[in-house]
A and B are shown apart, each in its own frame.
Chain A
Amino acid sequence: MMLKYIGNRILQIAILLVIYVAIVFFLLHAMPGGIKTLLISNPKLTPQAQEAIIRAFGLNQPLWLQFVDYMKNVFTLNLGISFSYYPTPVWNIIAERLPRTVLLFTVATLIAFFVGFASGKSLAWNRGKTTEYVSTVVGIITYTIFTPLLIFVVIWFFGSFLGIFPLNQFLNPDLWIHTRLNAQIIFLYILMTMVIIGAVMLASYTIALRFSHKVITRRMIFYLSSIISVIFSIFFWWVSPVGIYAADILWHMVLPVMTVTIISYAGTMLVMRDSMLETIKEDFITTARAKGLPDKVVRDKHAARTAMLPVVTNFVLSLGFVVSGGVITETLFSWPGMGMTLLDSTLAKDYPLAAGALIFTGIFVLIAHLVVDIVYAFLDPRIRY
């Protein structure tokens, strides 16, 4: 049943993906003054190069043939050659930068979700207190603040005033100049470590759920295995000679992650608060109280767990918003990910790269959507069965 549901969702996402690429194609290529004209009229290109581009992109073919070609190209990752990084293929640039965005975005959204979830939960539970009022106001401010404004202040406060975090860039050039290491490889290793830790946590959670019925033992299994895996990976990086470089990358990541977190936690918090307030009025909460369960159990196990469902749905809907915030954040922190690539290539009139970045940003959002959808199915038995 579950597999069928997941299969269904994957199929739907695949269809959405095709339609998304189609929309991008038609909006960018078929519009008068679209990429087609821009490709040819780039003054940097020699006539031969123009000719080559027209042939390479099949620009003199009928539109639908171009569309079919385009689709084929997208799915074979043949996205053309970047103008500004000539002659690097667009796909190579994207393959290098996509993981950076994925890491930044995933870490920040996870933190933001848990912070928003926990604070929304306690806001609703402690309704009418000053703390509720203050944190709602703070949440609304960070939710509505103009992102660049927030980033200026964050950069000033942590970078200049406190001076504890590095500004700009993805790594410290002074450190890396003495090594022949490729930052990309280190970065992928970091990503891999995180995936492994995540997998260990997920596995221990499943095992705990399967083999124990006592809350305390479940928690013990989960936390112990998580902590052990984290300590082990830290130790591993510590003894490895490249550990310091990884630390450098992570150190540079702190501020952007914090910014994206600040931008996006409030959305979750406010929805969680509203959802929780509605759930508290439900009859099954009264039942749980009447059963004589401790306050904390009623709050966490019954109210929060159920109130979480609309929050997850809303979270899916806000993915686009967070990605937008990510573009601004990446640009202002010079974090060379997809967002910055998108903006730079647009400003440099590097259309193949801009289109490629746009498509892969979309694919990334779609996959994130799929992941959240599957998580949702695990959370809500009414969908699972």
Chain B
Amino acid sequence: MTEPLALSLTKICRSFGPVQVLHDVDITLAAGEVHALIGENGAGKSTTMKIMSGYLAPTSGVVALNDAPVSFVNSQDAEAQGVVLIHQEFNLAEQLSVEQNIFLGHEKKRGFLLDKAAMQAEARALLARLNCQVDPSARVSDIANADKQMVEIAKALSRNARVLIMDEPTAVLTEREAEVLFDQVDRLKAEGVAILFTSHKLDEVKRISDQITILRDGHVVSQGPTSDYNEDQMAEAMVGRDVSSLYPERTVPVGSEAALEVKGLSVAGFAHDISFTLKKGEILGISGLIGSGRTETMEGLVGLRSTTGEVRLNGKVVHLKSPQQAQAAGVCYLTEDRKSRGLLLTKGMRENLTLQCLPDFTNVLIDQKSEDAALTKAIEDFDIRAPSRDVAVGNLSGGNQQKLLIAKVMLADPDIVIIDEPTRGIDIGTKQQIYEFIHALSGQGKSIIVISSEMQEVIGLADRVLVMRMGRIAGEVSGDDLTEDKIVRLAMGLDAHKEEAA
């Protein structure tokens, strides 16, 4: 290994136009140490990481490598000096192979030709070092998310990264996949790599980091060894207020009639023989590993995929063959993928808000006044914080995008709302607000299905949880049984027989 490298930021400030987003940030990443950078969306985490890795220059302050001040010309320059940023959204060419991706832009050559054998061998060695089983010649579009993350890391290592910066590496991973990643983080740490990562999952931060820096509104509000913090203290420092009661208490009892009955619903290749009942005003959680068919089942239910089986709304059999029909029947689905399926990122908030029920705003022509009124109400009801009403939605923070997405779907006034991953990639303060919205909707008598990969979320939010495994419902937990342990066992297919006997 080459010599270890430490990266430090001293008195870093950064402004975008008149807006200062970082104020005198000091962070030191030591070799062989894992540093967690946490804070709410918009606290300045991304900007900090981009300055560390050469994507942005600081307005003032010093970036130093092993105490020698550096100024990266661009991200390639930073990479050449051993500092690599791994983006939250994978930066991989999906149609190329794993090996081609790892060496993209710095291919090994023999004369004019590519030295495929050498690249294959090195790719294999790198992946082996990460304990990753994936075949170097597999196409990236065919491999799992966790493996893609490993390929990103392998790519960084092939560039001899000694400072590795990871933007929410576990956001798209299941808990089990995240475990694999953490093992590799530990291994890299032992090899002397300096690592910085961000995450909204505080249990994860507690587990794998050595140092913590907490940002709020561009200021470092707290910094120190991870052992000095518990999760509540981290959350409080991030938000600046007490967040111990993240999940609201149920105030209105669940109704007794069934709003939705599903019998033997199947989505070819994804879900088999799914049956369940949703009561009026109930919040039903759906848990399970990613790939267990949760999303596909619900997409089938609202007509986004073709299905077989019987669906009853308020006791009447319905055939929902398209999202339009589902919406007309009062069933709406909120996608987990707000960036590529939920919102038009280049359009403004108004166009996005009313897209789902544009006919309601159209009387030959679109009534822009009532659209504006609807936006004003949505901004107020859902506390959407935007720099201006005309801002392109892609420039909003994840939390505000999610609030807008909820406002958009609620404009259709559905009786049944299916929310897929309501808080993915969202900071804890906004999470709390979204949980309150969901409870308020249930209080209004709407029935809600929440799909989530976060155990705590389904447990805290739902009245009852269905656990899916390999396209089937593995079991249902509620009341005192509603524990992380029970859900995990069902999701992983452990002691299934015992469950049946019970």
Do A and B make up one complex? Answer: no
Residues of chain A having any CB pair with chain B under 8 Å: none
Residues of chain B having any CB pair with chain A under 8 Å: none
